[in-house]
Amino acid sequence: MTTPVPPRPWMNAGRVLGIALVAFALLVGAAIPASAAELMRVTFVRHGQSAGNASGNIDTSTPGPLLTQLGQDQAKAVVRTLGANNYDAVYASTMIRTQLTAGPTSEFLHLPIHVLPGLQEIEAGVFEGTPESQAQNGYGRFPLAWALAGQRDLRIPGSIDGNEFDARVDGALRTVYDNGDRNSVVFSHGGAIMFWTMMNATNLTAEQKLDLLRTAALKNTDYVVVEGNPTDGWRLVNWNGREFGAQPTLEADVQLQLRTLQRQLAAQARNVADAFATLNPAKVLAAITASAVEATYSVVKFAGAVTNRVVKELATRVEPTETVTTAAATTATPAAAARTVAVEAPAATSTGLVTTPSTAPGVETGDAPNPKSENTVDDHPATTTTEAAVPSTGGTDLTDGNKAVPGATGEPQGAVSGDVKETVAVGVGADSGTDGGDTGSDSAGSDGAGGDSE
């Protein structure tokens, strides 16, 4: 006959705490309508300045170069700029510069970095190692044709075509969606972010795309926010501070934060339950302590995010801001305008080839950090996990990293649009630091107009 095990005080206390965590998680979850789980918000962040940027040559290899000191400082500044948004997951490409840029955000949010194939930069193929300044005559022409002229069948010699590029990013976002993440921050590359967005955002006109390339090509650690899902498509919400279309309502943002809180509290409750299953007092006490700390921090993050959102809502009602509705709604800053180069918009030549700007869009500098809020980074270590991307129909098999499948090549052909015949200017950005050829930037063809010179 088995002798009953007498109840232990630590078991009773732990059981009460575990039940409380589960109950609270379920209570929060019940307050969220089912429709909230169908909409996914993705905040893309371009990596900080890399050693490749400083070299002035196109480098799209994997894992690629590290961050410069400036790039590391920019990575820390991302927390001050975006940390208060309380993302529910952190993703990075297979290239080391994005993972290093994601580190401070991972530490601040107490979330691991998920390395996800499909988010890497557009491979340069035969243009690998060539000067960024020459991208407008080769590498940069192809993604421009994909995004502006719809010529997705064109293949970068020795690399991928537009369909393969689009499919692999779609596959990565499908993985994010299937993981249940609905408010993730994704660290990627300038060319990948800009051209995928322009190829998929249903609310962008050709004129707006040209205007963004002319006046707002992504600099290091700039961001782009899209909303939608892999089934219904995507729309652009915010391009590094420029708002497009209807903005998420206060109610929608609070529901999104509630969902994030519910998932995080549920995860901590599961950790405690798993510890109880071991019947090991040390493991149970350790799980209770750790889960209590993380649950408290989750509540703090939630409160901060909601408070910031309410303050933003009140400020908007006092001083209404106007969203971008046309390509001419915004102009470059005086500092950027001082360094602009007049170029012609892509157009058909007598041979039918698309001509591209004399400096490819996406020229940018590794600007010094420009904090927009005052969050601080704690000392919690970041962890990294690797996830396999879900294959997409027609996409390149990238499960082993940053592999491109060579094939037939072609030249961009046809006019972008009959009514888009204006001259545009490509701003090289402000604070261009020079250091023996270092523009301090991911410049033309480098994480900008179709590539990542790192």
Q: 133-180 pLDDT, tens per residue?
A: 888 788 989 999 999 999 999 999 999 999 999 999 999 999 999 999
Q: What is the DSSP string of 147-196?
A: HHH--TT-B-TTS-BHHHHHHHHHHHHHHHHHTT-SEEEEEE-HHHHHHH
Asked if pLDDT for residue 255 goes beyond 50, the answer is yes
Band (pLDDT 50/70/90 cuts) for residue 97 is: very high
Note the pTM of the prediction, 2 decimals: 0.69
Band (pLDDT 50/70/90 cuts) for residue 316 is: confident
Share of the chain above pLDDT 70, in %: 62
Active site residue 344: no
Q: What is the pLDDT of residue 38?
A: 80
> Domains, the chain, ranges and CATH?
34-247+323-376+416-427 (3.40.50.1240)
Q: Are strands 384-386 and 223-229 parallel, antiparallel or unpaired?
A: unpaired
Distance CA 158, CA 410 (A): 11
- Of 47, 123, 132, 164, which one is the catalytic site residue? 47
Contact present, 364 and 441 (Cβ < 8 Å): yes
Find all residues with CB under 8 Å of 357, minimum gap 6, and list them. 136, 343, 344, 345, 346, 424, 426
Q: What is the pLDDT of residue 319?
A: 61
User: Mean pLDDT for the chain?
Assistant: 74
- Of 121, 123, 227, 364, which one is the catalytic site residue? 121
- Report helix angle 9-30 to 250-277, nearest 10: 150
Distance CA 423, CA 345 (A): 6
**Weakest-pLDDT range from 98-102, 156-160, 163-167, 335-339:** 335-339
Active site residue 422: no
Band (pLDDT 50/70/90 cuts) for residue 213 is: very high
Asked if pLDDT for residue 79 goes beyond 60, the answer is yes
**Weakest-pLDDT range from 7-11, 121-125, 260-264:** 7-11
Q: What is the pLDDT of residue 119?
A: 98
Band (pLDDT 50/70/90 cuts) for residue 320 is: low
Within 13 Å of residue 173, how many CA atoms lie on the same side as its CB? 28
Tokens of 441: 């930037």
- Report CA-CA distances (Å) from 7 to 1, 16, 142: 18, 13, 70
Higher pLDDT, 198 or 348: 198
Tokens of 263: 């998932």
Q: Are strands 223-229 and 233-239 parallel, antiparallel or unpaired?
A: antiparallel
Helix (H) or strand (E) holding 14: helix 9-30
* Each residue's pLDDT tens digit, 392-430: 333 333 333 333 333 333 444 444 444 333 322 232 223
